[in-house]
Structure 1
Amino acid sequence: MIEKRTARRHRVFKGGTICFENSGIACTVRNMSDGGAAIDLDTSVTLPRSFTLSIARDNFVRNCRTVWRCDRRIGIAFLQ
């Protein structure tokens, strides 16, 4: 597999929330970089093209888009 990321990701284990259309879905953030993250969902959910990832304990809020998906793990890119 060819590495396409521009920034190295760091392993984390943080609770987060995916927010869109006035609803929130719990997720677990598994790794992060300045440009994106990998998250796990408890159930398979269809996500919109863009959404917001929030990690309350870190005061972290970023607009995102899905880059790849494998079952309940999703790779996301942070939008500028």
Structure 2
Amino acid sequence: MDNADENVAVERMWVLVRKRTANGYLGVLDNEPDAIAENNEFWLGSELPFTAKHVINIEERDANTIALASQEPRTRWLD
């Protein structure tokens, strides 16, 4: 059950898709979150899984986003 007294941060984030997986996608965050404190797991360049239900908008890729998605992520998602 959700705790009504607990602070919950909800924020839209930009994610560059790195690859399609059996359960959805694996991407890398492309912006800094404002609603949470900086940490070692969830920040610009962090890799994370997501599914189609998490997508609000899609923009066409270009040379810049392809290059960014190809870089080594700040942190890798561990299954």
Q: Compare relative contact order (CA 8 Å, sep 6+) and give the higher one, 1 or 2.
A: 2
Higher strand share: 1
Larger radius of gyration: 2
Q: Do these two structures clear the TM 0.5 threshold for a shared fold by scoring above it?
A: no
Q: TM-score, normalised by structure 2?
A: 0.31
Q: TM-score, normalised by structure 1?
A: 0.31
Higher helix share: 2
